[in-house]
Amino acid sequence: MIQKNERHLDIRSTLTFDQLWTISLNIHEQTNIVSCCSLNENGWLIVDVAETRLIHVTNQGYIKNTITYTPSPHYAVQFDNDTLAILTEQGINLHRIDSDGEFRL
């Protein structure tokens, strides 16, 4: 159940905008500093700036992994099929995405 002021990810149909599923991200900060990028066919990467972490959400709506990231991440974007770029307070970090969709930090 989604609580008041709790951040969540909704996936909706591109044809009807009907909600397909929703997942709580366990983000309760009052600031709305959260960004998201898609990861090939392997889901989404949520950047939680307030908690300095990355949340990998699968296409089925499950949290696959939550990683504390230092320095504090601000945005993430995928380049090509195998490169993830993360903008931090100190610069840009590049990471490889494995063929199975896993990224190693």
Least confident of 33-37, 59-63, 97-101: 97-101
Residue 104 covered by a domain? no
Residue 86 covered by a domain? yes
| Residue the block writes with tokens 């990810």 | 9
* Domain count along the chain: 1
User: Which residue segment(s) compose the domain that 89 sits in?
Assistant: 29-96
Q: What is the DSSP string of 11-73?
A: EE-TTT--EEEEEEEEE--SS--EEEEE-TTS-EEEEETTTTEEEEE-TTS-EEEEEE-SSPE
pLDDT digits (tens, 9 = 90+) for 56-81: 998 888 889 999 999 999 999 998 88
| Residue the block writes with tokens 């960004």 | 35
> The domain spanning residue 56 has which CATH number?
2.40.10
Which pLDDT band, with edges at 50, 70 and 90, does 32 fall under?
low
Residue 5 covered by a domain? no
